[in-house]
């Protein structure tokens, strides 16, 4: 029995060493993976500035319906950059058209029996309303 115990201890020691070698290799692989995963990731904030800039304005005051190009895209002359909502503009044009019709009706009424000064004033109002309407329509 005394001879069996030292032999068993030697066998157990060899098994432990061999098992330890396998786990040592695995530990090295895990350490390498952890080192790669632990590489620092830099998160920075800033502004990227271009060499050329363009200021885009509209002659009209209206809400933007859509923007068909992305920020930073290369665009060519004449390309649509912004589409404005036309509902407000159409309402302004209709209002100006109604103003023209009212001014023309007042002029016709004045021509039927008013003094020359009143007729001239009504004519000027009609001409002004017509010019306002044409300006809105052209815009």
Burial of 97 (0-12, 13-18, 19+ CB in 10 A): middle
- Report yes or no on 115 lying in a domain: yes
Answer for the pair 127, 101: CB distance below 8 angstroms, yes or no. Answer: no
Tens of pLDDT, residue by residue over 89-108, are 888 888 888 888 888 887 78
- Report yes or no on 134 lying in a domain: yes
What is the span of the domain harbouring residue 113?
A: 64-138
Answer for the pair 110, 119: CB distance below 8 angstroms, yes or no. Answer: yes
How confident is the prediction for the chain on average, in pLDDT? 76
- Report yes or no on 102 lying in a domain: yes
pLDDT at 22 over 80: no
**Among 49-58, 62-71, 99-108, 129-138, whose mean pLDDT is lowest?**
49-58
- Report yes or no on 72 lying in a domain: yes
**Among 11-25, 63-77, 124-138, whose mean pLDDT is lowest?**
11-25
- Report yes or no on 18 lying in a domain: no
- Report yes or no on 126 lying in a domain: yes
- Report yes or no on 90 lying in a domain: yes
- Report yes or no on 13 lying in a domain: no
Which range of 16-30, 64-78, 103-117 scores highest in mean pLDDT? It is 64-78
3: confidence class by pLDDT, cuts 50, 70, 90: low
Name the domain count of the chain.
1
């Amino acid at each position: 029995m005394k001879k069996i115990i030292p032999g068993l201890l030697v066998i157990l020691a060899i098994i432990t060493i061999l098992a330890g070698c396998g786990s040592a290799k695995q530990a090295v692989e895990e350490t390498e993976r952890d080192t790669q995963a632990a590489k620092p990731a830099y998160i920075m904030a800033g502004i990227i500035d271009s060499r050329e800039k363009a200021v885009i304005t509209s002659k009209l005051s209206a809400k933007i319906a859509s923007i068909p190009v992305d920020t930073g895209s290369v665009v060519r002359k004449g390309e649509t950059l912004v589409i404005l909502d036309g509902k407000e503009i159409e309402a302004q044009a209709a209002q100006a058209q109604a103003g023209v019709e009212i001014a023309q009706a007042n002029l016709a009424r004045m021509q039927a029996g008013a003094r020359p000064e009143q007729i001239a004033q009504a004519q000027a109002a009609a001409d002004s309303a017509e010019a306002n309407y044409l300006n809105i329509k052209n815009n």
